[in-house]
């Protein structure tokens, strides 16, 4: 760590502004390289969080409660059409098959004519097979306070049935490949008042915002870091959140407007990062800070 | 002409070509598709209006060149950005470093969940090491620890720091750093206070 800070200080010395009209004074001659400022690899809050997470993992992840609710919802006859998802919803491996489905999405669904991630597909099934209204599902799509949307519980259930299975987004399918390539472009797109793209923070290795490590989405390891732990139980606010939510909140922090719920753009991002993690193990429901 | 064998062969080969097309896209096509997708998929919320997804001229050039614009274009556009920087009328650039530290700590502002009109933060510690007491700092930008001590607290360097915070793109067209003054995020007083945080010999940054 000290070495890393020393490197950063040296870099700061080397980097000089480029504007010829406005050349600042050079570094004073004879100035000694400064002692590295004190810094810890992990701040106290991070250590506290990690202790808490270990404890929760031993005692049971609260996400499992949402998984149980999701299983009930999956199997119950519901909606205007009074049919269960178990009897009507194909997540890519056949109607009702949930084992291994999560790690093989996003994928192309011919009946919808779209590439869809797990949450989008579940919502599609709720609308098309069960007769729920999309606008109702999109009104409050993510958990907050005591409220957890049904689709969140369903995603949690479906994801848990892929625990310890290899991520295998079917990139050989040209439909999926096309959406992957579009996702690769979406992450580079800079706009908004702060000129941010996804890649401003997530395009290089070894960067941090405050103490938070930033995964580089273009690498298998970075993409894996971004995929693991979703859906996850977030201790801040005690809420169950999905990967769709994570994308939504990234755009908020990017100072972008809000992506429509279950949109093509979010699917493209999830396709890009999940496929980049292909071949790695999905470890199941997460606990997030 | 109609139903001639030659026409049928042509039609058949066209179908084959069209079917093969998704695999034959160049990057530019994917970029165009990504852009069309983004324009259709975002809605305004709070102060984050839908038109924020439209890239301005500078953003477009950085987007099209992978943040590596040709040098001639970069120099010209950097000069334009620099020319638009408004230096304080009173000529004083060194504000209050204590207030600067608070501004550097805050990451508030401009998101759809921020109340419009509230003071915006500088987001500085998100990306930079600055004062040694704050150990929770990001590494997207270079360390600014001992900035003034290393460079000397001259009027020229103060002007550079003010301009850099006002519009980082005046020095590096596709810099990751926002244009805090240019977009009206930070006020003249806030930028002066940040200049003091980096330059004032009494600031903890320079101890």
For residue A216, the domain's CATH number is: 1.10.760.10
Q: Is residue A154 part of a domain?
A: yes
Domain encompassing residue B169: 97-206
Taking the Cβ of residue A205 and every Cβ of chain B, the question of whether any pair is shorter than 8 Å is answered with no
The model scores a pTM over 0.90: no
Chain B residues inside the 8 Å CB shell of A252? 48, 111-113
Query: Residue B185 domain-assigned?
Result: yes
Query: Does residue A26 sit within a domain?
Result: no
Q: Is residue A205 part of a domain?
A: yes
Give B78→chain A minimum CA distance, Å. Answer: 8
CATH number at residue B119: 1.10.760.10
In chain A, residues with a C-beta closer than 8 Å to the C-beta of B132 are 37-38
> Residue B4: pLDDT above 80?
no
Query: Mean pLDDT of all residues in chain A?
Result: 88
Q: pLDDT higher for A34 or B57? A: B57
- Is A247 at the interface with chain B, CB within 8 A? no
Return the active site residues of A.
Answer: 250
Q: Give the range of the structural domain holding residue A130, as residue numbers without chain letter.
A: 62-288
C-alpha span between A220 and B29 (Å, rounded): 25
B23 contacts in chain A (CB < 8 Å): 174, 177
Asked if residue B145 belongs to a domain, the reply is yes
CB B109 within 8 A of CB B121: yes
Cβ separation A13–B150 shorter than 8 A: yes
In this complex, is the C-beta atom of A48 within 8 Å of any C-beta atom belonging to chain B? no
Q: Is residue A142 part of a domain?
A: yes
Residue B103 located in a structural domain: yes
What is the pLDDT, as a whole number, of residue A168? 98
Closest CA to B182 of B169, B201, B197: B169
Cross-strand bridge partners of residue A191:
A196
Q: Which of B143, B148, B162, B167 to mutate to test the interface with A (most CBs of A within 10 A)?
A: B143
User: Is B163 a domain residue?
Assistant: yes
Angstroms from B10 CA to nearest CA on chain A: 24
Contact: A209, B140; criterion CB under 8 Å: yes
Question: Which residues, 6+ apart, have CB-to-CB distance to B18 below 8 Å?
Answer: none
For A207, phi then psi, to 5°, come to -100, 155
Question: Which residue of chain A has the CA closest to B62?
Answer: A190
Chain A interface test: which of B28, B151, B186 (most A C-beta within 10 Å): B151
Q: What angle do CA B8, B11, B15 make, to 5 degrees?
A: 140
Among B62, B79, B111, the residue with its CB nearest the CB of A252 is B111
Cβ contacts of A256 on chain B, cutoff 8 Å = 42, 48, 52-53
Residues 183-202 in A contacting B (C-alpha not used; CB under 8 Å): 183-186, 188-197, 200-201
* Chain A neighbors of B138, CB-CB under 8 A: 207-210, 212
In this prediction, residue A56 carries a pLDDT of 78
From chain A, the residues in CB contact with B41 under 8 A are: 259-260, 263-266
Total residues found in chain A within this entry: 289
Question: Could you give the 3-state DSSP secondary structure of residue B192?
Answer: helix
- Rounded to whole angstroms, the Cα distance separating A214 from B108 reads 20
Q: pLDDT tens across A204-232, in order?
A: 999 999 999 999 999 999 999 999 999 99
Model confidence at A46, pLDDT cuts 50, 70, 90, reads: confident
Q: Is residue B26 part of a domain?
A: no
pLDDT in tens, A107-122: 999 999 999 999 999 9
The pLDDT tens digits of the residues spanning A170-192 come to 999 999 999 999 999 999 999 99
Strand segments, DSSP code E, in chain A are 107-109, 114-116, 165-166, 207-209, 212-214, 229-234, 239-241, 258-259, 281-282, 285-288
Residues B110, A188: C-beta atoms closer than 8 Å = no
- Inter-CA distances, B143 with A9, A14, A71, B182, Å: 6, 11, 50, 23
Of B71, B49, B69, B43, give the one whose Cα is nearest residue B58: B69
Q: Please report the pLDDT score of residue A53 as a whole number.
A: 83
- Whether residue B84 lies inside any domain: the answer is no
Residues of chain A in contact with residue B66, where contact means CB-CB under 8 angstroms, are: 188
pLDDT grade for A69, boundaries at 50, 70 and 90: very high
Question: CA of B22, closest CA in chain A: separation in Å?
Answer: 7
- Whether the pLDDT of residue A252 is over 50: the answer is yes
Strand, coil or helix: A259? strand
- The nearest alpha carbon in chain A to B66 belongs to A188
Within-domain flag for B32: no
Q: Give the pLDDT confidence score for residue B5 in this predicted structure.
A: 43
For residue B152, being part of any structural domain is answered with yes
Confidence at A289, pLDDT banded by 50, 70, 90: confident
- Between B147 and B117, the more confident residue is B147
Asked whether the beta carbons of residue B52 and residue A175 sit closer than 8 angstroms, the reply is no
Contact A194 B110 (CB under 8 A): yes
CB contact under 8 A, A208 and B139: yes
- C-alpha distances out from residue A87 to A50, A126, A132, A157, Å: 41, 12, 16, 16
With a cut of 60, say whether residue A39 has pLDDT above it: no
Report how many domains make up chain B. 1
| Domains of chain A: total | 1
Inform me whether the C-beta atom of residue A47 falls under 8 Å from chain B C-beta atoms.
Answer: no
- Whether A22 maps to a domain, the answer reads no
d(CA A71, CA A48): 33
């Amino acid at each position: 760590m000290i070495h890393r800070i020393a490197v950063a200080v040296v870099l700061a010395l080397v980097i000089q502004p480029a504007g010829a009209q406005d050349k600042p004074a050079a570094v004073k001659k004879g100035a000694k390289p400064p002692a590295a400022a004190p810094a810890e690899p992990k701040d106290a809050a991070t250590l506290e969080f990690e202790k808490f997470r270990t404890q929760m993992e031993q005692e049971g992840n609260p996400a499992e409660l949402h998984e149980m609710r999701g299983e009930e919802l999956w199997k119950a006859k519901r909606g205007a059409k009074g049919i269960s998802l178990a009897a009507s919803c194909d997540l890519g491996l056949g109607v009702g098959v949930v084992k291994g489905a999560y790690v093989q999405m996003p994928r192309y669904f011919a009946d919808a004519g779209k590439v869809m991630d797990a949450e989008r597909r579940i919502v599609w099934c709720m609308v098309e097979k069960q007769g729920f209204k999309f606008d109702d599902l999109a009104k409050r799509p993510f958990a907050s306070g005591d409220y957890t949307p049904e689709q969140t519980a369903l995603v949690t259930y479906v994801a848990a049935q892929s625990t310890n299975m290899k991520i295998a987004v079917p990139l050989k399918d040209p439909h999926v490949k096309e959406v992957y390539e579009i996702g690769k472009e979406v992450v580079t797109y800079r706009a908004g008042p702060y000129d941010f793209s996804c890649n401003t923070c997530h395009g290089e290795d070894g960067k941090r915002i405050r103490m938070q490590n930033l995964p580089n989405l273009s690498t298998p390891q970075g993409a894996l870091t971004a995929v693991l732990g979703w859906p996850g139980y977030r201790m801040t606010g005690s809420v169950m959140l999905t990967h769709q939510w994570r994308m939504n909140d990234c755009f908020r922090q990017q100072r972008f407007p809000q992506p429509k719920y279950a949109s093509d753009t979010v699917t493209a991002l999830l396709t890009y990062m999940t496929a980049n993690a292909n071949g790695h193990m999905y470890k199941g429901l997460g606990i997030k800070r | 002409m109609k139903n001639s064998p030659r026409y049928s062969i042509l039609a058949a080969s066209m179908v084959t070509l069209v079917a093969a097309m998704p695999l034959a896209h160049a990057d530019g096509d994917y970029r165009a598709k990504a852009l069309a997708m983004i324009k259709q998929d975002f809605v305004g919320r709070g102060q984050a209006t839908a038109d924020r997804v439209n890239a301005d001229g500078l953003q477009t050039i950085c987007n099209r060149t992978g943040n590596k614009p040709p040098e001639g274009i970069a120099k010209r556009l950097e000069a334009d950005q620099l020319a638009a920087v408004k230096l304080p009328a009173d000529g004083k650039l060194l504000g209050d470093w204590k207030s600067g530290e608070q501004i550097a700590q805050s990451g508030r502002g401009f998101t759809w969940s921020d109340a419009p009109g509230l003071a915006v933060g500088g987001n500085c510690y998100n990306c930079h090491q600055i004062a040694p007491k704050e150990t929770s700092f990001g590494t997207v930008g270079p360390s600014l620890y001992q900035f003034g001590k290393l460079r000397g607290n001259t009027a020229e360097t103060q002007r550079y720091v003010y301009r850099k915070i006002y519009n980082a793109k005046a020095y590096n067209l596709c810099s990751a750093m926002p244009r805090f003054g240019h977009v009206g995020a930070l006020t003249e007083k806030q930028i002066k206070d940040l200049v003091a945080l980096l330059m004032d010999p009494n600031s903890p940054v320079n101890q």
